[in-house]
Each structure stands twice: as C-alpha cells, then as structure tokens.
Amino acid sequence: MSPTTGLAALERHGALVPFTFERRALRPHDVALDIHYCGVCHTDLHMISKWGQEFPMVPGHEIVGKVRAVGAAVSKLAIGDSVAIGVMVDSCRECEACLAGEEIYCHAYPTNTYDGVDRVDGTRTRGGYSSDYVADERFVYRIPANLDLAATAPLLCAGVTTFSPLRHWKVGPGMTVGVVGIGGLGHLGVKFARALGARVVAFTTSASKAEAAFALGAHEVVLSKDDKQMAAQAGRLDFILDTVSATYPLDPVLRALKRDGTLCSVGLPDKFDLSSFTLAMGRRSLASSGAGGTNVTREMLEFCSANNIVADIELVRPADIATAFARLEKADVRYRFVLDMRR
C-alpha cells in the first residue's frame, strides 16, 4: 500500500494537521477505496475534545469514494464502484444483534471507523479525513447511481442516525412528528419524516433557520426559545426526534408529546435535564438510538434513491477544516460540511 495522507489531531483538543500513515494490506474480504468526500460530524468535535481514546486521531466517518482494489474473496463490489462507509467497520458478527444486521448494537461493541481497535491486528482505526480507506466489504455500501456523491457522504452517519429511529418508531402518515435541532442530523430528520408521510414540526433555537426549515419539508417551525410558541405545542406530537448535542431543559419539549408519545434523543448530550413528573404525567417515554446497522443503512440509501434525498452541504477544502469546526461549534452550517478530499 502507498502511504495515506490525511488530517489528524495529534493530542486531545489539538488542531487538525497534515498527517501520513499506512493502511493495512488487503485481506481477502477487504475493499480499498480512494476517498472523494468525507462529512464533518459534530461527533468529530466530541471525539477530539472528550471521547477520543488515542492520539494522533484521524476523524471522519461519513466516507464516500471509488473502489480502487478488492481482496480475493470480495464478491459484491468491483473496482470503480461508488461506495460509502459509515461509523463502523467491523463487529463480532456472531451475537443476536449482528445476526439481525443491527451490528451497531453488537454485544461486543462494533469497531468504530476511527479510534476503534481492529479486531484482527489490534491497531487503531483511522478515519475518512484522508486519501483512502480499507475495510471489509460487509461494512462498505454501494451508492445508488442517482445520488450526488458529495451530498451522500452525510447520509452515512447523520442520515442513518435519523432514519433508523423514524423507522423503528414507525413514523408515517397520520402522525405528527417533531424534529429538534436543525443541524446535520436534524435537517435530514426533517426530510425523512416528511418523505415518510408525517406532519413535521421543526424546533430550532436559530430564528435565521426558520424559513429554511420550511424548505426542508417542515409543515411548521417553532422557535424553541419562545415560551409561548412552546406552550402552544403541548400534547400535540406522537414522536419527537431530538438531535441536540448539548444538555438543555427537556421538559418544554417533552410536554409537546401526546400521552404515550416517545422522545428519542440521538444527540448524545452528557446528561439529560428533565423532571420525572413530565414523563409520568403522560406516560411518556424517553429513548435513544445508535446510528444504525448494515440492514437499515442499505434501506436508508434505497429510500434516499427512491425519494431523491441527499444532505444539504457546504463543500470545503481540508485546508479550511479549522473554520468549519469553529462554525459547526456555533450551529452555523447549512447543514453539513463535507470535505473535498481530492483538493
């Protein structure tokens, strides 16, 4: 293999700097791809600042590219195919979750696309802010021909993380669904909920995003900092998809649920700020969800192909990653930065 070039944080809180490393030689079921695009997920910020295990760390788990080489036993992909990789690149493959194609819930924990530990040789995985990747074909997805490659990259994390709970909680016609936080995940949540046939209410802290949320497919937009607007939502919603990355007062949002409604928080805040009474008085459920296994990832890509859904992106050069991170921190992106790894 030739050396891989990328961007790495050399230490916790470190800035991303050019970094060179080696990818593994192809195993029989491996696919090597040249990376064209990689989405910038808020998780990348969390990983560099608090969750990361080992540095240098090369982030990136919304990867799109073209197959450059295949191992001897690869059967589903060929050189030249447009493919994608999401948040995981391996799992135990034996537990009940893996056998069900829900590898993200692998009982032995899936191997993360970056900062994970390779199950064969024990090395740290390095992500898609780089020129190429090598992964087992089970975790490499073919991209439907009608989807724009750059705008497909965010589907591999932001997309499946929002599509999966909407499908699990059977969102569809006749339901009113809230999506909280109109960022990378949330804007796709709005598009998916609308395409699934629900009435969609977008909740945003950013007045400047209100008009745009209608364009994404929201039927209604609520400014969540406005107490009056929040009170008017009480008892209306069947399901809420909360994508907010920070801890914030959940009670006003929970009160928007009908009796027996569910709020699924996928934003991974450090902790929840709520009163148990708000759950009790309405028999409401607070739930969460991981990104999604290989089955739902494939289903999501087919759904996107059939419904012409991709992310709204701002394409940036790797050299501009510091600006992109700073703007992402301030919720100032419409709606996902994607790195053009060929520039």
Binding site for ligand NAP (CB under 6 A): 41-43, 46, 157-158, 161, 181-186, 204-206, 209, 243-246, 248, 266-268, 289-291, 328, 331
Nearest distance from residue 224's CB to ligand NAP, in Å? 7
Q: Which is nearer to ligand NAP, 98 or 185 (CB)?
A: 185
CB of 108 to ligand NAP, least distance (A): 18
Burial 37-69 (b: 16+ CB within 10 A, else e): bbbbbbbbbebbeeebeebbbbbbbbbbbebee
CA 137 to chain centre: 20
Q: Which residue number is nearest to ligand NAP in terms of Cβ?
A: 183
Question: Minimum distance from CB of 166 to ligand NAP (Å)?
Answer: 13
Q: Residue 31 or 230: which CB sits closer to ligand NAP?
A: 230
**CA–CA separation, 50 vs 156, rounded Å?**
23
Task: Compute the distance between CA of residue 4 and CA of residue 23 in angstroms, rounded to an integer.
Answer: 7
Smallest gap from Cβ 184 to ligand NAP, in A, equals 3
Alpha helices by DSSP H, listed for 50-157, are 96-99, 149-152
CB 333, min distance to ligand NAP, A: 6
Nearer to ligand NAP, 228 or 259 (CB): 228
Q: What residue spans of the chain are helical by DSSP H?
A: 42-46, 96-99, 149-152, 158-168, 184-195, 210-216, 227-231, 251-254, 276-280, 294-307, 321-329
CB of residue 2 vs ligand NAP: minimum separation in angstroms? Answer: 31
Main-chain phi, psi angles of 166, to 5 degrees: -60, -40
- As measured in angstroms, the least distance from the Cβ of 46 to ligand NAP is 5
Q: Looking at the chain, how many residues does it have? A: 343
Nearer to ligand NAP, 125 or 245 (CB): 245
Nearest residue (CB) to ligand NAP, 22 versus 273 = 273
According to DSSP, the residues that pair with 84 across neighbouring strands are 64, 141
**Nearer Cβ to ligand NAP (56/181):** 181
Q: How far is the CB of 331 from ligand NAP (least distance, A)?
A: 4
Amino acid making up residue 338: V
- CA-nearest of 97, 129, 95, 102 to 113 is 129
Query: Both tokens of residue 233?
Result: 């939502």
C-beta closer to ligand NAP: residue 31 or 274: 274
Q: Which CB, 21 or 248, lies closer to ligand NAP?
A: 248
What's the Rg (C-alpha) of the chain?
Answer: 20
In the bound state with ligand NAP, the residue whose beta carbon lies nearer, of 67 and 156, is 156
Q: What single DSSP character describes residue 209? A: G
Token pair listed for 319:
């050299």
Please, what is the angle between helix 158-168 and helix 294-307, to 10°? 100
* Smallest distance, ligand NAP to C-beta of residue 246, A: 4
